[in-house]
Chain A
Amino acid sequence: KQEVTQIPAALSVPEGENLVLNCSFTDSAIYNLQWFRQDPGKGLTSLLLIQSSQREQTSGRLNASLDKSSGRSTLYIAASQPGDSATYLCAVRSSNTGKLIFGQGTTLQVKP
Chain B
Amino acid sequence: ETGVTQTPRHLVMGMTNKKSLKCEQHLGHNAMYWYKQSAKKPLELMFVYSLEERVENNSVPSRFSPECPNSSHLFLHLHTLQPEDSALYLCASSQAGSSSYNEQFFGPGTRLTVL
Residues of A within 8 A of B (CB): 4, 31-32, 34, 36, 41-46, 49, 89, 91, 93, 95, 98-105
Q: How far is the CB of B23 from chain A (nearest CB, A)?
A: 11
Q: Are B109 and A102 in contact (CB under 8 A)?
A: no
Instruction: Give chain A residues whose Cβ lies under 8 Å from the Cβ of B4.
Output: 43
Q: How many A-B residue pairs have CB under 8 A?
A: 43
Instruction: Give chain A residues whose Cβ lies under 8 Å from the Cβ of B105.
Output: 46
22 A-B residue pairings within 8 Å (CB atoms): A4-B42, A41-B88, A41-B111, A43-B90, A43-B107, A43-B109, A44-B90, A46-B104, A46-B105, A49-B103, A91-B43, A93-B101, A98-B100, A100-B104, A101-B42, A102-B42, A102-B43, A103-B42, A104-B40, A104-B41, A104-B42, A105-B42
Q: How far is the CB of B111 from chain A (nearest CB, A)?
A: 6
Which residue of chain A has its CB nearest to the CB of B101?
A31
Q: Are B109 and A41 in contact (CB under 8 A)?
A: yes
Q: A36 to B107: give the CA distance in the assembly, Å.
A: 13
Q: How far is the CB of B5 from chain A (nearest CB, A)?
A: 10
| Number of interface residues, chain B, beta carbon within 8 A | 20
Say yes or no: is B34 at the interface (Cβ < 8 Å to chain A): no
Instruction: Give chain A residues whose Cβ lies under 8 Å from the Cβ of B43.
Output: 89, 91, 102
Q: Are B103 and A34 in contact (CB under 8 A)?
A: yes
Given contacts A49-B103, A100-B104, contact A42 B45 (CB under 8 A): no
Q: A102 to B90: give the CA distance in the assembly, Å.
A: 13
Q: How far is the CB of A20 from chain B (nearest CB, A)?
A: 21
Instruction: Give chain A residues whose Cβ lies under 8 Å from the Cβ of B106.
Output: 36, 43-46
Q: A34 to B88: give the CA distance in the assembly, Å.
A: 20
Across the A-B interface, give the 7 residue pairs with the lowest CB-CB distance, nearest first: A44-B106, A43-B108, A102-B43, A102-B42, A43-B106, A31-B101, A43-B109
